[in-house]
Structure 1
């Protein structure tokens, strides 16, 4: 089982770990602990490097495989051996952009839920841009402008972002913990990670975030589309 360091420290850029296994079919390395986010919940996987002795392995992506995280390395590089110690280093520029983007999406989700009671029906993100779908019957420019103004007010409010890992029974006592139309948490998960933008948003989430909304930067709603009778999509971009 890979210890997921990013769950409690999103700002960890480098880390030491032991090689706990090798997946030769995927040319991937399994570590006993990692700061690489393996993707999920709309947030893409991390990239970076692993260094073992004098050898540096570019990590093109990370992926969850059961309780382990696979770190896919260059197919032309010889794989390290189980028990080897490695130093992991994230592509921090990309990761931090994704952290800002993910928190921006929670600001958007929390603001829309607070002001309009609309649930999320889907979403996706890349560094400094993303899209989110909501249960709206109608969407128009004035509404979009009002949402953009409201979400940037929350950036300026400099709200703290806190992460907790709670027993499932305790977590599900929180009202409106699941802000998506469909509950995506499998029944077998006993510990639930919750992310709170203090005073605005609180929901189950497995991704990485900044510590304060002021780190996000200005958010622009660049476009909107109808994706169905009660499904409207907003596109956002975060200014770097």
Structure 2
């Protein structure tokens, strides 16, 4: 089966579109999986939760409850509330805009924290981002000095985040070979495929390789609060909330 075209890779604000049904499969738990030729639904990954929403055609309506990426194909998982689709049907897709915006705000906030740490002179290497509301954190390969004042560091990170958000830079998307990303990014993951374009997301001139969804203006994040900083085993975890 053909790979799914990921429309959100080029446009974060596209929340409605038409698509063609390639397959409908029933799961053991009585849910169905709908596979389309293209999608606006973000599949969980990269530290960001999946989108939810609806897919419709005439009298048929499918509630998208979960979205997964499997071998290049997006699986839209959920329940049919009315009717059913067949392969070849043209359907209309709608993403839950409120959920998408919340997830995008948290994801963008994680990268704003990356920027704040750079401004503070921290040479911490990002290792993991978990941008789930209520449990969000960034994790870095780093060590904290024994005399580190965590409360002051948390305050300083918040202040740098406030400054960057107040500048309200626009978000742009560029595709380029990994080898060129070092011109825009402090840290480029080693596992990115070489020799083909990857996506770079820029807040103004601050860039990061990323496949998630983001706010188009940083002011949409509003306020980042640093909840806790924890160091263990050569890693530092910075927990935050909005």
- TM bin (shorter chain): 0.7 to 0.9
Deviation at residue 23 of structure 1 after TM alignment: 3.4
Distance 1:202 1:29 in 2: 34
2:24 aligns to what SS in structure 1?
strand
Q: Aligned residue for 2:13?
A: 11
User: 5 Å matches for 1:46-57?
Assistant: 46-57=51-62
Distance 2:134 2:54 in 1: 22
Distance 1:89 1:113 in 2: 38
User: Does the C-alpha gap of structure 1 residues 168 and 224 become closer, same or farther in structure 2, counting only changes over 3 Å?
Assistant: closer
Q: Aligned residue for 1:89?
A: 94
Deviation at residue 165 of structure 1 after TM alignment: 1.6
1:211 aligns to what SS in structure 2?
coil
Q: Does 1:235 align with 2:227?
A: no
Check the 8 A contact 2:133/2:241 in 1, yes or no: no
Deviation at residue 75 of structure 1 after TM alignment: 6.8
User: Does the C-alpha gap of structure 1 residues 128 and 212 become closer, same or farther in structure 2, counting only changes over 3 Å?
Assistant: farther
Check the 8 A contact 1:6/1:35 in 2, yes or no: yes
TM-score by length of 1: 0.88
Deviation at residue 234 of structure 1 after TM alignment: 1.2
Distance 1:72 1:78 in 2: 16
Q: Aligned residue for 1:120?
A: 126
TM-score by length of 2: 0.87
User: 5 Å matches for 1:1-240?
Assistant: 1-25=3-27, 27-74=32-79, 79-115=84-120, 116-127=122-133, 130-138=136-144, 140-171=150-181, 174=184, 176-178=186-188, 183-186=190-193, 190-199=196-205, 201-226=206-231, 228-238=232-242
In structure 2, stretches of 5+ residues that fail to align are none
Stretches of 4+ aligned residues off by more than 4 angstroms: 75-79, 172-175
* Count of residue pairs brought into register by the alignment: 232
